[in-house]
Amino acid sequence: NAGVTQTPKFQVLKTGQSMTLQCAQDMNHEYMSWYRQDPGMGLRLIHYSVGAGITDQGEVPNGYNVSRSTTEDFPLRLLSAAPSQTSVYFCASSYSRWNTGELFFGEGSRLTVL
């Protein structure tokens, strides 16, 4: 099993550009989520999904869009990148909340917006 796979690992964008961060998991996990990590801020939840076709907002959803068409994939879209979105983005998945709820993280995607 590859676990949680994120691509790309590094990306530089100009203000106003759009892009999609990809996330895929091969563990048949119901739950997937996106967090951003900024220095001194810990991790903050952007969006999450409890299953295919179901998504919801987390703590900091503005400027981001998500969809979940399959159990395996949960892409994060930046529609018009801003410098404030410079961050490290982590995708995480979990088997089920009826289990331990333990999150398994991808390797992260480092995004710089100029």
Which residues are near another protein by CB under 8 A? 31, 33, 35, 40-45, 48, 50, 58-59, 90, 92, 94, 97-98, 100-108
Alpha-carbon distance values, 11 to 6, 14, 21, 86 (Å): 12, 10, 9, 10
Nearest distance from residue 30's CB to another protein, in Å?
9
Output 2 or 102, the one with its CB closest to another protein: 102
Output 15 or 56, the one with its CB closest to another protein: 56
Output 14 or 102, the one with its CB closest to another protein: 102
Nearest distance from residue 70's CB to another protein, in Å?
18
* DSSP per position, 64-88: EEE--SSSSB--EEESS--GGG-EE
Cα 97 from Cα 107, distance rounded (Å): 22
Nearest distance from residue 88's CB to another protein, in Å?
9
The token pair that represents 5 in the structure block: 């796979």
Nearest distance from residue 73's CB to another protein, in Å?
17
The token pair that represents 36 in the structure block: 């951003």
The token pair that represents 42 in the structure block: 């810990």
